[in-house]
Structure 1
Amino acid sequence: MSDYVPIAEDGAVLLDGEHDNYGGFIIEPSSLPPHPSVFRGSLRSSISQWKSELKKGIWLKLPIENAELVPIAVKEGFVYHHAEQEYLMLTLWIHESVCTLPANASHQVGIGALVLNIENELLVVQENTGRTKGSGTWKMPTGVVLQGEDIKDAAIREVKEETGVDTEFIEVFGVRYVLLLYICYF
């Protein structure tokens, strides 16, 4: 973000941000006017400007403390993309073409760690919680990859958490996709 404050022809302050590599624009949250009526004018003028620049997708990251601006953005055509604890992300597709903005991530990645020692013994665990608790079932250490965590780091962490054993990641030896269906009977 620069110190330059762009002004539209109608006198409204244009929202600042950066042009992305895909012909879009990412609005800088700190450039958002604090008052909803000022935001409405700035947003409308900015959209007009972006259309004249042939922009495609617009990303609006609203900090939670600016949540009162959501209805204004939605009335101007923005839609929800995703939400985190600190912000809401909205998008607007203004190009004539089909929208190519990526969907929000909606999957969870789990790992199962195959751990062998120098005697070629397999490390297995029994669950302390969950479906197999108390069943006598032995299994590989497993767990969920945390947001922003690398798969190899998740495998090492899960083995340490479940067994106390320090391991070295060597390779991914398989990938499996599982679709979980929940069926309710009434």
Structure 2
Amino acid sequence: MTILSLNLSGSYRLTTHEWNSNFPARLVNGNLPECLKSTSSYGGRINSPSYSISKNIQGRNGKGAKGIGVIAPKILSVATTVSSGSSGLGLLLDAYDDEYGGIIIDPEHLPSNANAFASILRTSLSNWKLKGKKGVWLKILQEQAHLVPVAIKEGFDYHHADRGYIMLTYWIPNDEPCSLPDGPTHQIGVGGFVMNENKEVLVVQENVCPCQCSGVWKLPTGFINKSEEIFSGVVREVKEETGINTEFLEVVAFRHVHKVAFEQSDLFFVCMLKPLSFDIRIDEKEIQAAKWMNLDEFLSQSFYEEDHMSKRVIDICVAAYENTYGGFINHHLTSKFDGKLSHLYYNHEMVKKI
């Protein structure tokens, strides 16, 4: 058995554990072994390397193992096993098993040459099919974008994209439906209801908004950032738009709607916040104006008289302010499913009664 391993530094080591007198003889004459000569898998020819021959290579068990060692620069970063005497390379992409019988390909070790990638990808898929693997996840970084058409041609499909990469998937079994989960489907928005002791609500008018909301005084709203919590996201949004510092109290309601932005679904969480400051300083890039508005004046706007859902949201917020309605408070808990600290939102007072 001959093992060829290549690393990120661009060097490889070839070791044959069964000594073959003909094999090193070709090396002594200055020629490459057949399995290292030009191959379509690499899309190019490997130049003659400098090499050294050793009949005593240290084995895993600490004992000397007969074989040869070859060192050469600038070879693709892959790892493979080649049968002794083979005239080609049975290359496999660097990958590891996921928890569901699938494969996750390492994006850092993809061949940069499109022809090499296509050849090794086909070989890898055949190997994984024989092993009974199911879903394959292929993350291609932005600088590797030229490999995307190659993967699509081999049967991969788009899953999702984010800054710096695109994720593709491939379902191997032909006799069962694909069970891979869909890509991200939701955007998450938050709105903050802030009312002071004078029953004045913190409201804003946005610079850019749908025409039906033009001129409407509304609650400060926005989207949470990636990996941001709901409670911290709403506090940040209110601060950015109005300059008001607040403390998160509870989630009082949320709305779920589909096919909003680019056919994505939307989750919008309405949160009660306690004001910690009162001097308004608006973000002029987003907000046209902001002020503390009397609650009755706020509700008398024709928009809220006509929009039953928005009116219901404000009624719930007022009830929560008057302690006649209890929302969901965030609690820090760790789950054994993933071992991570999570934020579970629930009605603490109702739990006490159980």
Note closer, same or farther for the CA distance 1:8–1:105 as it changes in structure 2 (3 Å cut). Answer: farther
Q: Which has the larger radius of gyration?
A: 2
1:143 touches 1:158 (CA, 8 Å); kept in 2? yes
Alignment partners' CA distance in 2, 1:163 and 1:12:
62
* Structure 1 counterpart of 2:254, from 157, 175, 181: 175
Closer, same or farther: CA 179–76 of 1 in aligned 2, 3 Å:
closer
Partner of 2:114: 36
Shift of 1:61: 0.8
**Structure 2 match to 1:88:** 166
TM-score using structure 2 length? 0.46
1:22 alignment partner, SS class: coil
Deviation at 1:59, TM superposition (A): 0.7
Give the SS at the match of 1:7: strand
Could you tell me how far apart the structure 1 residues matched to 2:122 and 2:154 are? Answer: 7
More strand by share: 2
Separation in 2 of the partners of 1:121 and 1:138? 13
Q: Secondary structure at the match of 2:234?
A: helix
Letter in 2 for 1:81: H
Instruction: Tell me, yes or no, if structure 1 residue 6 matches structure 2 residue 80.
Output: yes
- Aligned match of 2:232: 153
Q: CA deviation at 1:130?
A: 2.1
Cα shift readout 1:12-66 (whole Å, capped 9, x = no counterpart): 3211122111111110012211212221121111111111221111011111222
- Equivalent residue runs for 1:1-186 within 5 Å: 5-7=79-81, 11-95=89-173, 96-117=175-196, 121-131=200-210, 132-133=213-214, 135=215, 137-179=216-258
Scaled by the length of structure 1, the TM-score of the pair is 0.83
- Separation in structure 2 between the aligned mates of residue 139 and residue 156 of structure 1, nearest angstrom: 16
| Sequence identity percentage | 47
The separation in 2 between residues aligned to 1:64 and 1:43, in whole angstroms, is 19
Inter-partner Cα distance in structure 1 for 2:160 and 2:92: 24
| SS of alignment partner, residue 109 of structure 1 | strand
- The Cα of 1:168 is off from its aligned counterpart by 1.4
Deviation string for 1:78-119 (max 9, x for gaps)?
A: 111122231221110112321111111233221111123455
Q: d(CA) in 2 for partners of 1:119 and 1:48?
A: 71
1:104-151 Cα deviation digits (max 9, x unpaired)? 123322111112345554322232332445x2x322111122233222
Amino acid at match of 2:163: Q
- Unmatched 5+ stretches in structure 2: 1-6, 8-77, 262-354
Q: How many residues align?
A: 179
